[in-house]
Amino acid sequence: MSKVRVLVGTKKGAFVLTADGARNKWDINGPFFGGWEIYHMKGSPVDPNRLYASQSTGWFGQLIQRSSDGGQTWEPVENKFAYDGIPGTHQWYDGTPHPWEFKRVWHLESSLTDAETVYAGVEDAALFRSSDGGKSWQELSGLRGHGSGPHWTPGAGGMCLHTIILDPKNPQRIFIAISAAGAFRSDDGGQTWQPINQGLRSEHIPDPTAEVGHCVHHIAMHPANPGRLFMQKHWDVMRSDDAGASWQEVSGNLPTDFGFTIDIHAHEPETIYVVPIKSDSEHYPPDAKLRVYRSRSGGHDWEALTKGLPQSDCYVNVLRDAMSVDSLDSCGIYFGTTGGQVYCSADSGDNWLPIVRDLPSVLSVEVQTLV
């Protein structure tokens, strides 16, 4: 019988939530690494019991944990992320040069073909790869060396590489996104990179249509259609049908097009989900109503999904890595909030129930479908 495993990273530890395919009775395990910030956890699609977790605090820095039994036990692996060569400077918030300094790992992405290979997106922005299950990390420095690096600036949360997407049909193609530099693509396995931000418009930079400098919040890709990307930018929901070469806005009738997360239905590549947030200064839902918006047409036309979600006095946020989907026949949609709730819809978003209500503030949610 199918099972789902939900990996939840929070500001005070990691939690592993499991249920059978009905998804109505949940076991809650954790906290693992209590008191530490768990920015992200990810399982290997090759070996679902191989998990990686990013564990950090401002006091004691970064650790990487690895599990080989689906999260029951963990072992720390290498935590040294050394930039390749002299890292140089990027722009600080005020435009002055600022030294590149490693702070934390925001996102881990397991290889689609090898459980020992995993990518790490870090702050200050860079992409690292391990080919030995996290025992050592090497920077793919062609990204920082693309030439625009000295002009990258941090977003409000830091200059983080937060999105890594591996193309299932082209093993040489990788997409990444950085706040606030924008989106980049490699077609040679991460050796060289090009910015893919044409069509983005950001009013917070001197040239709103500049090649780099855009605060991309998250990107999603459906594995059946890897040339089509959906993006939640700081403001604006965007779509690309040419692997990022150009973007078109599809915000349509959303109540606000600010937000952090975006994801795609497992079986319907044109069905996408966002959680609109009021503004970049007010990080909570408009009208104090927590609403997931779904478009079945790849954008433009959106419907509010509210059944089971709080529709008054709600002031939580849903962060960029805090939404995920399962691949059961009736696709499950999951998201976590800064208020500590993790919600699940077992029917593509029509109805929602909280799996758990009172976790620490949720940083990330990843779902594994286990068969």
Partner 1 sequence: MCLIRVFLPAHLRNLVQAASEVALNVAPPVTVRSVLDALEAQYPMLRGTIRDHETQKRRPFVRFFACREDLSHDSPDSPLPEAVASGAEPLLIVGAIAGGRTVSF
Cβ of residue 141: shortest distance to partner 1, in angstroms? 16
| Binding test (CB under 8 A) with partner 1, winner from 57, 131, 256, 361 | 57
Q: Per CB under 8 A, which region of 42-50, 72-80, 262-270, 348-356 contacts partner 1?
A: 72-80
CA–CA gap between residue 96 and residue 151 (Å, rounded): 10
Cβ of residue 75: shortest distance to partner 1, in angstroms? 9
Q: Per CB under 8 A, which region of 79-87, 128-136, 315-323, 355-363 contacts partner 1?
A: 79-87
CA–CA gap between residue 163 and residue 81 (Å, rounded): 18
Identify the CA nearest to 111 among candidates 132, 139, 138.
Answer: 132
Whole-angstrom CA distances from 5 to 29, 74, 111, 174, 312 are: 11, 16, 19, 26, 30
Instruction: State which residue, 63 or 333, has the beta carbon closest to partner 1.
Output: 63
- Phi–psi pair at 94, nearest 5 degrees: -90, 10
Q: Per CB under 8 A, which region of 29-37, 42-50, 126-134, 227-235 contacts partner 1?
A: 29-37
| Binding test (CB under 8 A) with partner 1, winner from 69, 72, 73, 82 | 82
CA–CA gap between residue 108 and residue 184 (Å, rounded): 17
135 binding partner 1? (CB under 8 A): no
| Binding test (CB under 8 A) with partner 1, winner from 27, 80, 281, 358 | 80
| Binding test (CB under 8 A) with partner 1, winner from 76, 85, 171, 208 | 76
Instruction: State which residue, 76 or 208, has the beta carbon closest to partner 1.
Output: 76
329 binding partner 1? (CB under 8 A): no
Instruction: State which residue, 105 or 250, has the beta carbon closest to partner 1.
Output: 105
Whole-angstrom CA distances from 312 to 284, 299, 327, 354 are: 12, 26, 31, 16
35 binding partner 1? (CB under 8 A): yes
Q: Per CB under 8 A, which region of 61-69, 106-114, 145-153, 184-192 contacts partner 1?
A: 61-69
Cβ of residue 102: shortest distance to partner 1, in angstroms? 9
Cβ of residue 76: shortest distance to partner 1, in angstroms? 4
79 binding partner 1? (CB under 8 A): yes
CA–CA gap between residue 250 and residue 115 (Å, rounded): 36
The burial of 343, by beta-carbon neighbours within 10 Å (0-12 exposed, 13-18 middle, 19 or more buried), is given as: buried
Instruction: State which residue, 77 or 322, has the beta carbon closest to partner 1.
Output: 77
| Binding test (CB under 8 A) with partner 1, winner from 4, 12, 19, 36 | 36
| Binding test (CB under 8 A) with partner 1, winner from 1, 25, 58, 358 | 58
Instruction: State which residue, 63 or 331, has the beta carbon closest to partner 1.
Output: 63
Cβ of residue 144: shortest distance to partner 1, in angstroms? 17
What's the maximum distance between 2 C-alpha atoms anywhere in the chain? 57
Binding residues for partner 1 (CB under 8 A): 33-36, 57-63, 76, 79-80, 82
